[in-house]
Amino acid sequence: MIELLASLFIKDRRNYTSPAVRQAYGTLCGAVGIGLNILLFLGKWIAGFLSGSIAITADAFNNLSDAGSSIITLIGFRISGQKPDPEHPFGHGRMEYISGLLVSVAILIMGFELVKSSVEKLFHPEPVESSPLIIGILAASILVKVYMFYYNRAVGKKIESAAMHATAMDSLSDTISTALVLAATLISQYTGLLLDGWFGVLVGLFILYTGASTIKETMDLLLGQPPKEEFIDEIHEIVVSHDLVYGIHDLIVHDYGPGRLMISLHVEVDSEGDIQAIHEQIDHIENELQEKLHCSATIHMDPIVTNDEEVVEMRQKVNDIVREIDPMFSMHDFRMVKGPTSTNLIFDVSVPSGCSSTDNEIINSLKDKIRKIPGSKYFPVIQIDHEYY
């Protein structure tokens, strides 16, 4: 159904990286979610009223809260798609993360309320009525929630949406919840055992677990996560494909929400090159990054010596030493400054996140090895840079 509606109402629907397409998918899925959850609430409320089951009634109001969650998701997508304004110069993209967080909080509240009411039911158990109508309503609800989980997860993956992922997990928890309620109803019907409260507790605990998991995921996005390795590889591939670029470093990805990515990086260029031509090419690279990766890019150029054999040879020696300490390390901004008694070797070393060695340990190890290079007396001046990915 979602694919059919998308083909009817979303222009260029397969361009998932487009902010307009992402917003359209979020709006569509939110609207469908509201309608389905209201229908499920009405069906389960009737079933709960007829059967006298606390678990079925609680599950019905869980679906009503899901309709509210879908409204939050829909509003979040609408706000996140708004253009930047003077108060929010980087746009409103993070509202999508916040809406996902609100959905997760709603899941937690419903889980807590369900556990609370189910515990009360344990101390005051009552027989649960059953009928083919009630069984049919619960079974149909399971099928609808499986479908909702499937389309929310599928769309969430396509547009890389935390809010859609939270909604998908909410649908999955509802599926399991209703399945447990159905199991309790059938067991009570055929055995006479009063398991309504026990199964209600199980349902509530599962909902609490789901809510806690989705809160962690959305909080990670709000606090900031490293960019995906594939995205970093794409940036490298685009930048180094240009002949004027000798190297790339100090890459930082700023995430202000889906469709609101900003990147900054340094590129090494020939110090003897035509600065006007280099500047023009760097502008071209920035535009290419923006067109292909839908991000805003700022590039700083670092001039390096490429036609001095001594500098080139020494840079290679120092680079080999850096790689010898750790293959994941990289060197950049290498310069040689000769003095009357010694030569300063000035350079930066990029260290990946998660490195167990301290900055001082890395610097001291490099200094020890560099001072053993035969020839002039070398004095290393080292700056440690930490990568953000």
Residue spans per domain, the chain: 2-223, 229-386
Q: Which two tokens stand for residue 122?
A: 């344990």
CA atoms within 13 A on the CB side of 164: 26
Query: 224 with 256: CB under 8 angstroms?
Result: no
Q: 127 pLDDT band (50/70/90 cuts)? A: low
Q: What is the pLDDT of residues 287-311, one digit of tens each?
A: 999 988 888 999 999 988 888 888 9
Whether the predicted pLDDT of 128 surpasses 80: no
Angstrom distances, CA of residue 77 to CA of 12, 293, 298: 18, 21, 27
pTM attached to this predicted model:
0.65
Mean pLDDT of the chain: 83
Whether the predicted pLDDT of 235 surpasses 90: yes
- 47-56, 103-112, 225-234, 244-253: least confident range: 47-56
Q: Average pLDDT of 145-154?
A: 89
| Better-scored residue on pLDDT, 205 or 234 | 234
Whether the predicted pLDDT of 198 surpasses 80: no
Assigned CATH for 229-386: 3.30.70.1350
Q: How much is the pLDDT for 376?
A: 64
Q: How much is the pLDDT for 245?
A: 92
Task: From 49, 54, 63, select the one nearest 140 (Cα to Cα).
Answer: 63
In CATH terms, is domain 2-223 a member of 1.10.150.120?
no
Task: From 259, 260, 278, select the one nearest 269 (Cα to Cα).
Answer: 278
Q: How much is the pLDDT for 256?
A: 84
| Better-scored residue on pLDDT, 179 or 314 | 314
Give percent of the chain with pLDDT exceeding 70: 96
Query: 181 with 53: CB under 8 angstroms?
Result: yes
